[in-house]
Amino acid sequence: MENNNQLQLQMSNSNLPAITTAESLAQIRMDERSYPHYKSVTRQARLEWLANQIKYLASITRMRDFDAREAILMATALDDIISMDAVSADLTLAEMADAFKKGVFGFYGEFYGVSAPNLYGFLDKFITSEIKKEATALVLKSHEGSYAEKKTAEKEEQQRRIREEIEEAKRAGTFVPTGQVWFKPQMVNDAVSSKEHREKVRQQAREILNQQ
């Protein structure tokens, strides 16, 4: 129950930030713990959230004779379409709420009323907006930086282990300097070949001595 209450708190409009810059949007995209993506929310919770969004939009646009039953029917139809679209389903609730609100205020062209097709169209307009494109580039850059940091840390850890192995070999008296940072241990087949080669050389030496 506590998790459900926490999710409802995260999904409420009062806790969804306004998106004013690409930087703020990028931060929202990278904080899924605070701002869940639509596809990660259970269907029942999604439908309740969408229905509340629709009732809110109907209220601020002064739509008459709009009841809860209509909101639920519209939310169900809209959820079906969003769930079929991987890009729309990956939007955070904050992005969706922002797209809906800007849509009814005419940011994406003339407003023709609250309907499932219109709301889906607002999401599509948001996805192709400049602020969304800029935020996507910022998120990608951040992920690339994180990957580079991870690889650097892995390389440093590998070098640390090598140094520890060298120091251990020195203490055990088995370390042989090679002029290289690291060396590969002699393989079993190589060792056998070397032994056979030495034995062949000794045999040839004995044959020479016997002929004298």
Domain count, the chain: 1
Q: 115 lies in a domain?
A: yes
With respect to residue 145, please indicate whether it lies within any of the assigned structural domains. Answer: no
pLDDT tens across the length of the chain (212 residues): 435 544 554 556 656 788 899 999 999 998 888 888 999 999 999 999 999 999 999 999 988 778 888 999 999 999 999 999 999 999 999 999 999 999 999 999 999 999 999 999 999 999 999 999 999 999 988 877 555 555 565 666 676 677 777 777 777 777 666 655 444 454 445 444 556 656 766 676 566 556 65
Judge contact between 89 and 38, C-beta under 8 A: yes
- Residue pointed to by tokens 């930086």: 145
Residues facing residue 92 across a β-bridge: 37
Comparing CA positions, the residue from 86, 87, 121 lying closest to residue 107 is: 121
| Residue numbers of the domain that contains 80 | 2-135
Within-domain flag for 28 = yes
Q: How far apart are CA 49 and CA 96, in angstroms?
A: 11
List, in sequence order, every residue forming a beta bridge with 89; answer none if it has no partner: none
Contact in structure between 88 and 95 (CB atoms under 8 Å): no
User: Residue 118: what pLDDT?
Assistant: 95
- The pLDDT of residue 80 is 96
CB 75 within 8 A of CB 50: yes
- Give the pLDDT score at 75: 96
Residue at 186 is within a domain: no
**126 falls within a domain:** yes
pLDDT at 142: 81
* 199 part of a folded domain: no
Whether 26 is in a domain gets the answer: yes
Please compute Rg for the chain using Cα positions: 33
pLDDT of residue 5: 47
Rounded to two decimals, the pTM is: 0.63
Residue 74 CA to residue 60 CA, distance in Å, equals 17
- Residue 98: per-residue pLDDT: 94
Question: How much is the pLDDT for 182?
Answer: 47
For residue 145, what pLDDT is reported?
A: 58
- Residue 118: both structure tokens together: 């219109």
- What does the chain look like in DSSP terms, one character per residue? -HHHHHHHHHHSGGGSPP--SHHHHHHHHT-TTTS-BGGGS-HHHHHHHHHHHHHHHHHHTT-SS--HHHHHHHHHHHHHHHHH-HHHHTSBHHHHHHHHHHHHTTTTS----S-HHHHHHHHHHHHTSHHHHHHHHHHHHHHHHHHHHHHHHHHHHHHHHHHHHHHHHHHHT-----SSS--PPPPHHHHHHHHHHHHHHHHHHHHHHHH-
CA 25 from centroid of its chain's CA atoms: 15
